[in-house]
Structure 1
Amino acid sequence: MKILFTAEYAGSLDAFRQYDELEVTGWAAGDSKLSEDALIAHGQDADVLIVSYDDITARVIDACPQLKLIACTRANPVNVDLKAAAARNIPVLYTPGRNADAAAELTLGLMLSLARHIPQAHGALKRGEFTRATQGSNATQQGLRQDVVWDVDKSSPYEVFKGGELRNKTLGLVGYGSIGQRVGRLARAFGMSLLVADPRVAAEDIDEPGVRKATLEELFTGSDYVSLHLTVTPQTTGLIDQRLLGLMKPEAQLINTSRAAVIVEEDLIVALREKRIAGAALDVFASEPIWRDHPFITEFDNVVITPHIAGATRETLVKHTAMIAADLQRFLSGEPLHYRWPSA
């Protein structure tokens, strides 16, 4: 049996080396994505394809006559032609929840950054603001103990970067899957209450103090922070628009670590321009990489942005590598698969 392995991974590949032949190439070998032609050249005699970002098209599947299993180390195998795989009765594996902890933690980091203006304060110091020209220490008045307060006027950092606390604030979670639930647990540890909008979640299943199911309108009206955790579907594309943004409190802030397509980006820009909301933190954008003269970069000092890194942790790679290895063993043993894509 031959395995063609192009996925990003962490740790050892010993779980895959036990089989007859393992070819590691592409992203897994430190190179770029493979083209269709390259995939066919390497995989035409492969029994198993294990990929992250390579496009497994119908042409690739048709050109690999021995192919019996496709594994994609992502939460949604959008780069695999599922219909073509189903036509050949080839199961498609995926790795749901592999980056849930990573995305949840980044979401809390962005929320804290908004609340306490951390990036702005960091950037100011890096630019030389609120610094002194020479090394030294402040003198202490006779009879007083040494103090660390060195400036208390309106232009001091204590005033310029004064923020708010998360405790006793309300977090609205739009989407309550594996990531949304983890964000909720972390937020509760900070003393926040939760509003949850998710048609797949029953109110009875989240019935506990400080957690309440809400309509989208109730959530956007009542939340101090709104965090989006949605997959892209016809129903969610452009869901967050001028109407919903207009329901937010002027002091409320929006966070998106899911997919940019769920927001009408121009509507968000207008809401920020007109100061209808206090700010936003975004890991995803309508076009990536983000345009260097985008308003999020050039215009707003109340927008925190990161370059689509919510799932980018070493632990994520360890998890998805282990998930695929375990399901490959189940497949070869004829056991039920845990991570088979439902529509494959």
Structure 2
Amino acid sequence: MKIVFTAEYEGDLQVFRQLGELVVEGWAIGKPKLSSQQYIALAHDAEVIVTSYDDITAEVIAGCPQLKVIACTRANPVNIDIQAAKQRDIKVLYTPGRNADAAAELTLGLMLSLARHIPQAHAALKRGDFTRPTQSGNSTQAGLRRDVVWDVSADSPYEVFKGGELRNKTLGLVGYGNIGRRVARLARAFGMEVLVADPFVAAEDIDEPGLHKATLQQLFNSADYVSLHLSSGPGTDGMINASLLSTMKKGAYIINTSRAAVINEQDLIDALRHGPLGGAALDVYHQEPLWQEHPFITELDNVIITPHIAGATRESIAKHTAMIAADLQRFIAGEPLLYQWR
């Protein structure tokens, strides 16, 4: 069996070598995405493709007549033509939950950053704000112990960056899948109340002290922080709009580490400019990379932005590598596949 491997990976590929002839190319060795013609030239006689970001189009599938399995090391194989694969009875594998811990932890990091103004404080010190020009220290008056304090004034960092605590605040989770469940567990460890809006989860499955199901409207009315954990699609794209945003508490925050399409971007910008939102933390955008003159960069100081890195951990890559290897072993053994796309 020939395996063409163009996915990012962590560790060695010995398991894949044991399964057959292994060709490692493209993104796996630091090269750019392959074009359709490049992929066909590489995989025209392959039975298995393992990719992360290459576009496996109908043209590629047609150009690889031996193909039996397409494995995508992502939670949503958007770069695979699923229908073209189904027509050939080609199995499509994916890796659900492989970066759930990473995305959940970044979500909590963004919440803490919003609450405590961590990025702004860091950037201010790096600019030289609130610092002293020399190494000279403060003197301590007789009879007093040395006091370590930055400054005592309305312009001191203690006042400028004064924030709030997560404890006893309400977090609203829109979506309660692999990532949402982990965020709930972490947030409750911080002492937060958690509301969940997810039509596919029964109230009986989540109703316990500190964790309750709510309607989307109830969640937006009540939450101090709203965190989005949705897939993009016809039923969710643009779902977070001006109507919902306008009902949020004054000074509330919204975090999105899922898909940018679920928020109407202009409505979000308006809510950040004029209220009621106190701020937002975003890892995903309608166009990536972000435009240099985008308001998130040039205008809105109440927005914390990261460049789509929620799943970017070595552990996530190690997980997806192991998941695909294990399912390919099951495929060869004729066993049921655990990670076959529906």
Q: TM-score, normalised by structure 1?
A: 0.99
- Check the 8 A contact 2:102/2:316 in 1, yes or no: yes
Q: CA deviation at 1:151?
A: 1.0
- Check the 8 A contact 1:138/1:150 in 2, yes or no: no
d(CA) in 2 for partners of 1:14, 1:160:
54
Q: CA deviation at 1:135?
A: 1.4
| Offset from partner CA, 1:105-138 (integer Å, 9 cap, x none) | 0000000000000000000001100001111321
SS of match in other structure, 2:191: coil
1:40 equivalent to 2:40? Answer yes
Residue identity matched to 2:239? L
Point out where structure 2 has 5 or more consecutive residues left out of the alignment: none
Q: CA deviation at 1:275?
A: 2.5
| Offset from partner CA, 1:29-51 (integer Å, 9 cap, x none) | 11011100010000001010000
Residue identity matched to 2:64? C
1:296 equivalent to 2:296? Answer yes
- Check the 8 A contact 2:19/2:329 in 1, yes or no: no
- In the alignment of these two chains, the number of paired residues is 342
d(CA) in 2 for partners of 1:243, 1:152:
42
* Segment drifting more, 314-323 vs 145-154: 145-154
1:179 equivalent to 2:179? Answer yes
1:102 equivalent to 2:76? Answer no
Residue identity matched to 2:205? D
Q: CA deviation at 1:72?
A: 0.3
- Check the 8 A contact 1:10/1:318 in 2, yes or no: yes
Q: CA deviation at 1:286?
A: 1.1
SS of match in other structure, 1:37: helix
Q: Which residue of 2 aligns with 1:191?
A: 191
d(CA) in 1 for partners of 2:184, 2:160:
30
d(CA) in 1 for partners of 2:250, 2:34:
47
Residue identity matched to 1:294? H
Residue identity matched to 2:146? Q
* Segment drifting more, 333-342 vs 134-143: 134-143
Q: Which residue of 1 aligns with 2:212?
A: 212
Q: Which residue of 2 aligns with 1:31?
A: 31
Residue identity matched to 2:188? R
Q: Which residue of 2 aligns with 1:258?
A: 258
Q: Which residue of 2 aligns with 1:5?
A: 5
1:167 equivalent to 2:167? Answer yes
Residue identity matched to 1:61? I
- Check the 8 A contact 1:241/1:268 in 2, yes or no: yes
d(CA) in 1 for partners of 2:35, 2:171:
43
- Check the 8 A contact 1:283/1:306 in 2, yes or no: yes
SS of match in other structure, 1:227: strand
- Check the 8 A contact 1:69/1:92 in 2, yes or no: yes
Q: Which residue of 1 aligns with 2:341?
A: 341
Residue identity matched to 2:13? L
SS of match in other structure, 1:18: helix
d(CA) in 2 for partners of 1:152, 1:208:
44
What does residue range 310-325 of structure 1 map to in structure 2 within 5 Å? 310-325=310-325
d(CA) in 1 for partners of 2:307, 2:253:
19
d(CA) in 2 for partners of 1:235, 1:152:
52
SS of match in other structure, 2:331: helix
1:89 equivalent to 2:56? Answer no
SS of match in other structure, 1:281: strand
What does residue range 56-135 of structure 1 map to in structure 2 within 5 Å? 56-135=56-135
Q: CA deviation at 1:146?
A: 0.7
| Offset from partner CA, 1:168-194 (integer Å, 9 cap, x none) | 000000000000000000000000000
- Check the 8 A contact 2:73/2:94 in 1, yes or no: yes
Q: CA deviation at 1:318?
A: 0.1
Residue identity matched to 1:37? Q
- Check the 8 A contact 1:71/1:94 in 2, yes or no: yes
Q: CA deviation at 1:3?
A: 0.3
1:54 equivalent to 2:54? Answer yes
SS of match in other structure, 2:19: coil
d(CA) in 2 for partners of 1:203, 1:304:
33
Point out where structure 1 has 5 or more consecutive residues left out of the alignment: none
Q: CA deviation at 1:150?
A: 3.4
Q: CA deviation at 1:149?
A: 1.3
Q: CA deviation at 1:20?
A: 3.0
Q: CA deviation at 1:276?
A: 1.6
Query: Among the aligned pairs, what percent are the same residue?
Result: 72
- Check the 8 A contact 2:251/2:275 in 1, yes or no: no
d(CA) in 2 for partners of 1:286, 1:63:
32
SS of match in other structure, 1:254: strand
Regions of 4+ moved over 4 Å = none
